[in-house]
Amino acid sequence: MKTLTIVRHAKSDWGNDNLEDLHRPLGESGYADARALSKQLLKKMEVPDYWITSPAIRAYSTALIFANAFKYDAEKLIIKKKVYEATIKNLRGIVNQIPDSVSNAILFGHNPGLTNFFNEVSDSYADNIPTCGVLHLKANVNKWKDVFNKKMENDFTAYPKEFK
């Protein structure tokens, strides 16, 4: 069994128009949502054994908050440039590169790429993954290259508004 958790970064801070998009940080509500949701997820899922994040500050910060809640060593976070402004093809490629020894991976990224990817590979549909939205997918396979042979099962979703 392979599980893939998709997490859209938490709400970002738009207070500084001079920042490049890649350097935009989380806003106050983004930090609060990521902390609250990651703590709730501890009750619903195992600690992922492979963590991938976009290099964008808001995605990386969201990953750090989740890593802290899951007591995962933040130095093991894998930063992949192709997650930023990713296409479905890029995200498929990233997932296919996960070592087969890994059962449970988590991916932190951005829209519209994550929503498009989810709709392509999942047995469910999402109009739009909200900020800090979490989607937990699973496939009954032994190799990551096989997870896309058929639609992955959408095991559960979690959104910050559920815990406010």
Question: What's the rounded mean pLDDT across residues 142-153?
Answer: 96
Average pLDDT, the chain: 95
Q: Which pLDDT value is given to residue 139?
A: 97
Q: What pLDDT score was predicted for residue 163?
A: 72
Confirm if 54 and 82 have CB atoms less than 8 A apart: no
What is the rounded average pLDDT of the residues 35-59?
A: 96
CATH architecture of the domain formed by 2-163: 3-Layer(aba) Sandwich (3.40)
Residue 19: per-residue pLDDT? 84
Q: Strand 153-158 relative to strand 134-139: parallel, antiparallel, unpaired?
A: antiparallel
Instruction: Tell me the DSSP string of 7-39.
Output: EEPPPBP---TTS-GGG--B-HHHHHHHHHHHH
Q: What is the pLDDT of residues 15-44, one digit of tens each?
A: 787 889 899 999 999 999 999 999 999 999
pTM: 0.96
| pLDDT over 70 (residue 164) | no
Q: In this predicted model, what pLDDT tens digit does every residue of 84-140 receive, in sequence order?
A: 999 999 999 999 999 999 999 999 999 999 999 999 999 999 999 999 999 999 999
